[in-house]
Structure 1
Amino acid sequence: MVPEVVSKDMYAYLKRNTRLVLSVESEEGGQEHGDATEPEPSSGTKHKQAKKKATQAAISSFVVSAHPTQNQKSGKSVAAMFCKTPEEVVADRHKNKTTQSTLEACTKKGKEAKQIVNDHVADFLYENKIPLHVVNSRSWEVMLESIGQFGPGYRGPSYHDVRVPWLDRAVDRTTTLRSKHEQAWKEYGCSIMSDAWTDTRQRHLINFLANSPAGTFFLASVDASIEIASAELLADLLEKQIDSVGREHVVQIVTDNGSNFKAAGRALVKRIPHLFWTPCAAHCLDLLLEDIGKIKEFNDCITMAKRVSRFLYKHGRLHSLMREKLGGDLVRPGITRFATSFLTLASMQKHKNGLRSLFICDEWQHSKFSTSQEGTQAENIVLSVGFWQNLENCLRASQPLLIALRIADGDETPAAPEIMAAMGKARDTIQEALKGKPRLLKEVLARFDKRWDQQMKQPLYGAALFLNPGKFFSIREKDKKQAGILRSMFNDVMWKMISDEEEQTKISNQADDYERSEGEAFSKPGAIRDRERKNPILWWGAYGGLAYELQSLAKRIISLCCSASGCERNWSDFAAIHTKKRNRLEHKRLNKLAYVSYNRKMDNRFTNIRELGSKGKRSNPLLLEEFTWQNEWVEEESDGDNIWDAVDEALGASQGLRGRNLPRIAAAAGSSSQTQTQTYVRTRKRPRNAAATAQDIREEDDNSPAEDEQEQETARQTNDDEDEGGQESGGRGAAGDEFQLDEDLL
C-alpha cells in the first residue's frame, strides 16, 4: 500500500513534471472544511478541483534551488529531492555522453509537443537575428534545462530586469568564479595582460586581465578618454591592478610593443623589483610575418594570390563553383592581417589541384568570366608553374613561424616553456628549407634575427625552457653551450624573484641536482622516463616535491603565458556588445556586460577542456571561429586593419555579412561604373608563365614606366629561378625536397 502523501506527490509530478512543495495539511483542512459546508461533488468535478489546486500550488511554491527558503513550508516533494540542478544535469550529459531516456523524457506528450517547442525556439532565433552558434554554448543548455524543470507558468523578464537587476546579479555570480583563480594565483603566480582599444564613440578603453593555469580572468576596463595615455598613467593603472591581485602573486606584465607600454613596463619594474615586463610574443611574431611579407618575391606572390581570391569571391556563381571544387572556403580568416595572408596561402597550396581543376573545367570555359580581363589574369596565375613555386617558397619561410605563433597564442597550455624552443626550431627549419635560395634565405634570417634579438629574447623564456624537462635535456645532449646559456638565464631570473640569499643558495643547489639528474628527487627512473610524457607543470608536481623551494619557483615560471591575446579576445566581446546599433552604452554597463560575457565564456571553455581531458580536440588560436567577409582577401576595398571587426562573434546579427548579396553588389558595381570592363576573345594560346601574368597585371594597374621595368625584371628573374629550380630539383622547390604542408594550421 503506497502512503497517501507519496501517492499525491507522484500524481502531481507526473501531471506537471516539476519540483513542488505541497502543503498536505492545508489540502486536508480544505477538504474537511468542504465536507462540513458543501455537499460532496461528483467524481469528475472532484478531479478537476484537485487538478486546479495542484496547478496553483505549483505556480506559488516552485523551488528552483535544492535548498528551501525560510518562507517555504514543510519539506520538499519526492521529485524535488531527487531532481538535480540544471548545471548538474548538463555536466552529467557532457561527461557521460549518454542517450538513455530520462524519466522526464518518458513522461512528455510526444514528438508533436517537442516539435512545437522546437518551432518556438527557432522563431526566437531567426526573428531576433541571434547568431546561431549560441546553441553550442553551455549556458544555452543550462537555460533550457532550467526552464524545463520549472514547468508551465514561467514569465520572462522585463527590459528593465535584464538591463539592471539581472545584470547586477550576473556580475555578482561571475565574481564568485574569481575564487578558484585566486587559488591558482597563490600556487602558480600569474601574468597581468593589458591592451588598449578605441570604440565607435572614440572612447579610449584599456583592458586588464590576469592569466594563470586556471585560465584568463577579466579584471577591469578603464575609460581613459579624457586622459593622455602616457607611460606614467599606464604604470599607475597597471600598479593598481597588480595590487588588487596581490604583488606577491604577479610575476610579469605582458603588453604590446607600443612605446608608452614599454615605458610603463620599465617604470613598474623599478617600482616592483621582482616584476618582469615582457612584450607580447604573438605581436612580435605578427610583425615578423609582416617583415617577411615585404620581401619582393613574397610580396608579389601575395599580391597575385589576393587577385585570384578576390575574383573568386566577387562573383556568386564562381564562389559556389569554387566551394564545390574545394569542398569549402579558400580564405582562412586569421586573428591578424598577416596571419590571414599566410594561412590563406597555405590553404591555396592545400587546394592546389582543386583550383587548377576549376580553371580548366567545362563550367569555367563556357562562362563569361573566362573571357574577362580579371578571369584571364586569375587563370594565368593559377596555371602558372612559377606562381606555385614562389608560393611554396613563401610557405617554407612562414610555416615554421605560424607554428610558433600557434604556440605563443594558445591559452590552453602555458607557452613560456615552449616558445624559445619553438623559435629555435623555426629558424633551423627555415634555414634548411631555403638552403637552395641563399639570397632569399639571407633576407629572411636577417629579419628573423632582428625581431628575436631586439624583442623576443627574454630571460623568462630561457628560464622556463631550462625548467622544461621535455626540451632541456635533449638540448643539453646536443648543444652544451646553449644549455649553459639557459642555466645562466635561470640564475638571473632566480636572483630577481628571490631576495633571500639563503633560499637562493638552496634553490641553486637543487637546480644542480635537476640539471645532472641527481639527488633523491630527480634521479628516479620514473622522473627520467616521464620527462617528455608529462606536461612540465604536472612533471614538477609529481617529482619536484623533495626539492620544494625549486618546485615552487619552477611552477611560477613554467606556468606563464607569453602573449596578450586574451586582451584581443576580450576586445571581440566588446565589439560584439558595442555595435553600431548599441553605441550609446555607458562605459559602466559596457564593462559589466564584457565582464560577465568574457569570464563566463572562459569558464565554460576550460570546463569543457577539463571534461574532455586528453581526448579533447584543441582549438586553433590562429583561426577565427566565424568566416568574415570584411577581409582584404575577399573585398578589394577592405583595408584589412580593423581586426576587431574580423573577430566580431556577433557577425550574424550585424551588417557585416554580405555574402548573399555579392552577386547583386557585383552587378550593381558593373552597371554604375563609368569605365566599362573590356572583354575579348582569345585568338592565341595564353601564356602560362609568370612574365605573362605580370604583364596582365600591369595592364590593369597602369603602373609607371619604372614600375613596369621593375616588374619585367622580377618576371625574368622568376622565370630564371623556375628554370634553374626545375633543372636542380625536378620542379620540387628551392630546397630540393618536396614541401610538406602542416595541415594542422588550417
Structure 2
Amino acid sequence: MDLEEINIHDHGDKVVDENHKSKVKCKYCAKTVIGFYRLKFHLAGIRGNVSPCSEVPPLVKQAFHAEIMGKKSSQSSQEISKSVGRFFYESGLDFDAIRLPSFQMMFKATLSPGQTVKFPSCQDLKGWILQDAVHEMQLYVTEIRSSWARTGCSILLDGWIDSNGRNLINILVYCPRGTIYLRSSDITSFYENPDAMLVFLKEILEEVGVENVVQIIAHSTSDWMIAAGEKLMDSCKTVFFSIDASLCMGLMLQNLTQIDWIGQALQKAKMLIQFIYSHSTTMNLLRDVFPGVELVKSSKVKAIVPFLTLQNIVSQKDVLTRMFQSSAWGTSQLASTSEGKRIAEMIEDASVWSNFRMAARVTIPLVEVIKYLNGTNKPQAGFISNRLYQAKEIIKMEFRSRKLWRHEETWNKIDETWKKYLHSDLHGAGYYLNPCYFYSSDWLGTAEITCGLCKTIDRIAGHIKGLITKQIHEFDFDGSREILSDISPAQWWLKYEVEYPELERFAVRILSQTCDGASHYRLKRRLVETLHTKGRSEIEQQRLKDLVFVHCNLQLQGFDPEGENDIAEDVVDAMDEWILGERANVVSENSQCTWMDMELGSNKRKREVKKVKEEPEE
C-alpha cells in the first residue's frame, strides 16, 4: 500500500461515548480510542498510550508503521542536528570542524545500531539550525526577564582590553532565575570619560527597565568608573552602584601582602616554588620519593592561587624537610650551589615556617570568602557583610591564640578596600533582613547595619518608605521564627506577602541580588572581539551577532559554579603562570594579579593591571 494514498479517516469512525465525549472507533476491531492520532498507533501496532489492533490487515499495519517511524526518524535527525549546533555555538568552534573525518566518526559512534540520520552541514549550522537556536534562546531570555519585576535584577559589567587595544564590555543581567547576556559594546571612544559612561549606563538602565534594576556591578576600581557610578547614584535615586566583590576581595589580599611579614612569607614561598619547579633534580626527587605531592594549587580564581599554594606548602612541611634532608638531595650537584644551599637553609629555618603558617592563617579566611562568592549562583547580598565580619574575627582570633597583638594592621588593610570599593548600604539592608542572621545569637545590631537599612529604604522605597519603616517596626521577627531548611531568604519572606506586602516586596528585591560581578562567569571573549571588528557585510554581521547572543547565553545557561570549570581561559596553570611566568601582553582591566605578577613588600607599590606587563626578572 502506497504511504501517500493511506488516510487515517478511512480506517475509523467518529463516535460519542456514554459521557458525551467524542472518540474514534476502529473499523477492524471496534475498539474506541481518543482521536485519529492514537488510532494510527493502534493500527500500526506501536504500544504506548493505546493497545495494538489484532484485526488490522498487514498492509494497513505496515503503512501506518512506516509513516509513524518515518516521522520519528525525521524528528530524530532534526533534534540531533540541533544538538550538534548547540555544541558548536556554546563552544565557539569553527563550523568547518564539522567536516573533519574524526568529528564525523565521533558523531556516527553515538548512533544506535542501524540508525541513520542526516548529517548537518556548515550551511545548516549557519542557517536554519542557528535561527532555531536564536528563537529558542529568545524564549528563554523572555522567561528570565519576566521575573525581573518581582525580584529585581543586577546589571553586571564585564570589561577588557583586547589585543587591538579596544575597550570592550559585555552587559549581563543577573536575577535568581538565571543570568543572561544582553549585549556588548565598544566603549573605546569614551573610555575614562565619567560623563559619557554615565550616558552609557543610563541607556542600559532604560533597556533593562529602571524600575527592575536594583544595582549595577562594575568590573573596575578605576577612578573614572567610580566617578561614573557616583554620578549614576546621584541621578538615578533608586539604583545602587558597586564593584565586583571578587575583584575587591582580591585587592584586599593584595593589600595584605603590603604588610612586611606577610609579603616576606609569600616572597620566600615563591622562591621555593620557582626553585623546585625550575630544576629537574628537585622535580624528579619530589615526584619519585613523594609521588602524588603537588605544591602549586591551581584555581579558576587567580587572586587566591598564591595563598592556597602557601597553605599547601605549610601542609607539606614534613615532605619538604625530608626531601632536603635526603641522601639523594645531599649527593646532587644542585645541593652544592649557592642557590641550593640557600633554599636548604630556608627549609631548616623554624622562623620561616612560623611565618609561613601565620601568613596562611591570616589570609585564608579572605580566600574562603572569595571561594564562597565564586562557588554559588545564589543571591549573596544578604550574606557578604557577615562573611567578611566572620573572616575578620577569625583573623583576630589567630593573633590572640598566639598571644600576638597586631591584628589591627590586617584589619585596617581589609577595611581600606572594603570602605573604598565594596561597602554598600544594600549589603547592610540585606544582612538586617536575612532570617539566617536575625535569629542568630551573634546578630550584628551595629549602627552601620541599621544605617544601611535606613538608607536603602530611602533610596529604593520612594513614596512608600514610611510604610515600609512602619511595617519593619511592627513585624514580629522573634515570633516568625521558622527553620529555613533549603529555601532562600527571599523565599522565606514570601510567606508574609498578605500581611506585610510592601515590606515583603522590599525584602525580596534586596535578598535576590548578587555581589559578584560578570567575572564570576568567565565568559569566553573571542567571538565578542570578532563581532566588533569591522569589514563584513550586513548579513554576516547579523549572523555573527546572533551567534554571540546564543554563544554567551548558552555559556551562562550551562555555567556550574560548583563544577569543574578549570578549562576556562583564565585558569592558572602551574607551569605556565607560576613557573615559566608566561602571560598575555594585554590583560583585562578586571584581571587579578597572580603570584608571579605581584610586587611583594610594603615599600613596593602595586602595578596597574590594565597596562602591559613586563616579563619577570630572572
Pair in the same fold by TM > 0.5: yes
CA gap of 1:299–1:274, structure 2 versus 1, over 3 A, is: same
Secondary structure in structure 1 of the residue aligned to 2:183: strand
Of residues 463, 472, 475 in structure 1, which corresponds to 2:429? Answer: 463
CA deviation string 1:305-331 (max 9, x = no partner): 112212222245644553562625322
| Pair 645,344 (structure 1): closer, same or farther in 2 beyond 3 Å | farther
Select which of 611, 617, 635 maps to 2:580.
635
SS in 1 for 2:462: coil
Give the drift of 1:369.
Answer: 3.5
Letter in 2 for 1:569: Y
Q: Does 1:605 align with 2:569?
A: no
Gaps of 5+ in 1: 6-21, 27-72, 90-119, 128-139, 523-527, 610-616, 648-706, 711-746
Residue type at the aligned position of 2:453:
F
Kindly report which structure 2 residues correspond to 1:458-537, keeping only aligned pairs within 5 A, or say none: 458-474=424-440, 477-478=441-442, 481-482=445-446, 485-501=448-464, 504-514=465-475, 516-518=477-479, 522=480, 528-531=481-484, 534-537=487-490
What is the CA distance between 1:478 and its match in structure 2? 4.3
TM-score (norm 1): 0.60
| 2:269 aligned residue (267, 291, 305) | 305
Aligned twin of 2:143: 180
For residue 426 of structure 1, what is the aligned residue in structure 2?
Answer: 391
Number of residue pairs the alignment of both structures matches: 513
Per the alignment, residue 99 of structure 1 pairs with none
Structure 2 equivalent of residue 331 of structure 1 = 296
More moved, 200-209 vs 376-385? 376-385
What is the root-mean-square deviation of aligned Cα atoms in Å?
4.3
Which amino acid is 1:414 matched to?
A: P
Give the Cα separation in 2 of the matches to 1:494 and 1:569. Answer: 30
Deviation of 1:462 after TM superposition, in Å, equals 0.5
Which deviations, in whole Å up to 9, do the C-alpha atoms of 1:453-477 show, x marking residues without a partner?
3333311001000111111232xx5
Match of 2:500 among 521, 528, 547: 547
Distance 2:78 2:304 in 1: 38
The SS at the match of 1:379 is helix
Letter in 2 for 1:264: A
Is the 8 Å Cα contact of residues 631 and 646 (structure 1) preserved in structure 2? no
Question: Aligned partner of 1:463: which letter?
Answer: A
Q: State how 1:292-371 maps to structure 2 within 5 Å.
A: 292-316=256-280, 318-319=282-283, 321-323=285-287, 325=290, 327=292, 329-335=294-300, 337-371=302-336
Q: Which residue of 2 aligns with 1:390?
A: 355
Aligned residue for 1:500, secondary structure, equals: helix
1:124 to 99, 102, 106: 102
Higher helix share: 1
The CA distance in 2 between the partners of 1:24 and 1:539, in whole Å, is 59
CA apart distance, 1:236? 1.9
Equivalent residues of 2:159, 2:590 under 8 A apart: no
Name 1:406's counterpart in structure 2. 371
Structure 2 CA distance for partners of 1:494 and 1:646, relative to 1, 3 Å? closer
Give me the whole-angstrom Cα distance separating, in 1, the residues matched to 2:268 and 2:177. Answer: 44
Q: How much has 1:266 moved relative to structure 2?
A: 2.0
2 CA distance for matches of 1:322 and 1:585?
A: 54
Q: Which residue of 2 aligns with 1:450?
A: 416
* Residue aligned with 2:171, SS: strand
Matched, 1:574 2:525: yes
How far, CA to CA, are the matches of 1:155 and 1:83 in structure 2?
Answer: 12
CA contact (8 A) 2:162 2:587 kept: no
Conservation of the 8 A alpha-carbon contact between 1:220 and 1:591:
no
> Does the Cα contact within 8 Å between 2:493 and 2:504 map onto a contact in 1?
yes
Alpha-carbon deviation of 1:485?
A: 4.4
Contact (CA 8 Å) 2:156, 2:174: kept in 1 or not?
yes
Taking a change above 3 Å as real, the CA distance of residues 540 and 622 of structure 1, as seen in their structure-2 partners, is: farther
CA distance in structure 2 between the aligned counterparts of 1:165 and 1:84, rounded to whole angstroms? 15
Query: Any idea what the Cα deviations from partners look like across 1:474-499, whole Å, max 9, x if unmatched?
Result: 2xx546742x6433422221222122
Change (3 A) 1:400 1:363: same
Residue aligned with 2:471, SS: helix
Cα gap change, 1:164 to 1:83, in 2 (>3 Å):
closer
Distance 1:639 1:304 in 2: 25
- Aligned counterpart, 2:23: none
Matches of 2:427 and 2:113 in 1, distance apart?
A: 51
- Structure 1 residue 416: Cα displacement: 0.8
Identity percentage of aligned residues: 21
Instruction: State the SS of the aligned residue for 1:434.
Output: helix
1:276: Cα distance to partner? 0.9
Q: Read off the aligned partner of 2:311 and give its amino acid letter.
A: A
Write the mapping of 1:212-227 to structure 2, written as runs, cut at 5 A. 212-227=175-190
CA offset at residue 275 of structure 1? 0.9
For 1:359, what is the secondary structure of its paired residue? helix
Q: Secondary structure at the match of 1:176?
A: helix
**Which residue identity lines up with residue 450 of structure 1 in the other structure?**
E
Cα separation, partners in 2 of 1:511 and 1:557, compared to 1, 3 Å: same
SS at structure 2 position matched to 1:77: helix
Moved more, 552-561 or 618-627: 618-627
Output the amino acid matched with 2:411: L
Alignment correspondent of 1:209 = 172
Structure 1's 252 and 378: CA in aligned 2 closer, same or farther, altered over 3 A? same
The residue that corresponds to 2:225 in the other structure is 261
* Residues 384, 480 of structure 1: alpha-carbon distance in 2 compared, 3 angstrom cutoff: closer
Give yes or no for contact 2:298–2:574 (8 Å, CA) kept in 1: no
What code does the residue aligned with 2:482 have? Answer: R
Q: 183, 186, 189: which one pairs with 2:152?
A: 189
- Give the Å deviation of 1:145: 10
Q: Does 1:232 find its partner at 2:223?
A: no
